[in-house]
């Protein structure tokens, strides 16, 4: 069995929260492969500062896994998800960092090679993004969503394979959660880095264009490809709302998605902007409502085009 060379450190953070009570948080840092001490310290510094600034919160312990390579992080994820009976979809393969909480303890995984390819502000925002996930979505219930009735009906109507329905729900849920995370960070003063982060995410890469090109002729794959951009647009929408924009048409980064058909982009943008009116709802209600909107505004249109 393949094993990574690794090191493990326990670190305890203490601070006084807004009610002048002492709070503490334990970070369990594990490094897999060759991760420099300087790089490890930088991640820890960003996390410590972010957890303090986002207090009060109930997080007491977080596992932080730092991987030398993205392939190492992916191999670890496949193994760990297999142990808890979760199917690895591959939809996370391009991520720089991820958060999960299958065991009940928040776990942050970071690909250090990908992290250090980013501009400094985006690098900082990426780490803070995962910290915010551990605060908002640090329990297993945020990773197991029941299939909404609207999606079940779309499954029957369009003959969608169940694995694609699961993927659609997954992509909707991570977009909703990313909107929540970006909003939390913006509301707590992390503005410059979150603006940079949203601009980085919404940029269309060659991989995006290739995925769209390869999906032509297969409407179901095309739908998954379109929804793969939902999380990117969700973060951009959160920033746009914070900056005072009132309509989805005002988002100045929509031009990055012009490779999509106009009607498809309009549907995706409307579903994304609808998140701005859901602040009174919990995560699960947001996911259900977003799924309903996705069925009405996007799924039928993409599958019938």
40-53 pLDDT, tens per residue?
A: 999 999 999 999 99
d(CA 100, CA 79): 14
Lowest average pLDDT, out of 26-40, 71-85, 129-143, goes to 71-85
196-226 pLDDT, tens per residue?
A: 999 999 999 999 999 999 998 899 999 999 9
Neighbouring CB atoms inside 10 A of 210's CB total 11
Q: What pLDDT shows up at residue 24?
A: 78
- Which is more confidently placed, 135 or 80? 135
Beta strand pairing status for 22-32 and 61-67?
Answer: parallel
104-129 pLDDT, tens per residue?
A: 999 999 999 999 999 999 999 999 99
Q: Among 62, 52, 72, which residue's Cα sits nearest to residue 2? A: 72
277-300 pLDDT, tens per residue?
A: 999 999 999 999 999 999 999 998
């Amino acid at each position: 069995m393949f094993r990574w060379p690794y090191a493990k450190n326990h670190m305890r953070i203490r601070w006084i929260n807004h009610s002048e009570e002492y709070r503490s948080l334990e970070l369990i840092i594990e490094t897999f492969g060759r991760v420099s001490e300087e790089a490890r310290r930088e991640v820890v510094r960003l996390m410590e500062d972010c957890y303090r600034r986002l207090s009060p919160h109930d997080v007491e312990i977080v596992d932080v896994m730092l991987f030398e390579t993205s392939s190492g992080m992916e191999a670890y994820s496949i193994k760990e998800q297999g142990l808890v009976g979760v199917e690895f979809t591959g939809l996370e393969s391009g991520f720089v960092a991820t958060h999960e909480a299958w065991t009940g303890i928040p776990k942050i995984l970071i690909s250090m090679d990908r992290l250090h390819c980013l501009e400094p502000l985006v690098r900082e925002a990426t780490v803070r993004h995962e910290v915010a996930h551990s605060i908002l979505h640090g329990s297993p219930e945020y990773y197991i969503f029941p299939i909404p009735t609207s999606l079940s009906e779309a499954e029957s109507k369009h003959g969608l394979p169940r694995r694609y329905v699961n993927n659609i729900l997954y992509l909707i849920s991570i977009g909703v959660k990313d909107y929540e995370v970006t909003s939390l960070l913006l509301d707590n003063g992390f503005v410059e880095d979150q603006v940079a982060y949203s601009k980085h995410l919404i940029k269309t890469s060659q991989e995006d264009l290739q995925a769209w090109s390869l999906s032509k002729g297969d409407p179901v794959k095309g739908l998954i490809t379109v929804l793969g951009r939902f999380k990117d647009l969700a973060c951009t929408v959160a920033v746009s709302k914070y900056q005072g924009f009132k309509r989805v048409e005002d988002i100045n980064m929509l031009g990055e998605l012009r490779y999509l058909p106009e009607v498809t982009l309009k549907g995706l943008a409307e579903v994304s902007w609808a998140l701005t009116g859901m602040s009174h709802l919990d995560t699960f209600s947001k996911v259900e409502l977003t799924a309903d909107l996705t069925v009405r505004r996007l799924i039928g249109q993409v599958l019938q085009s």
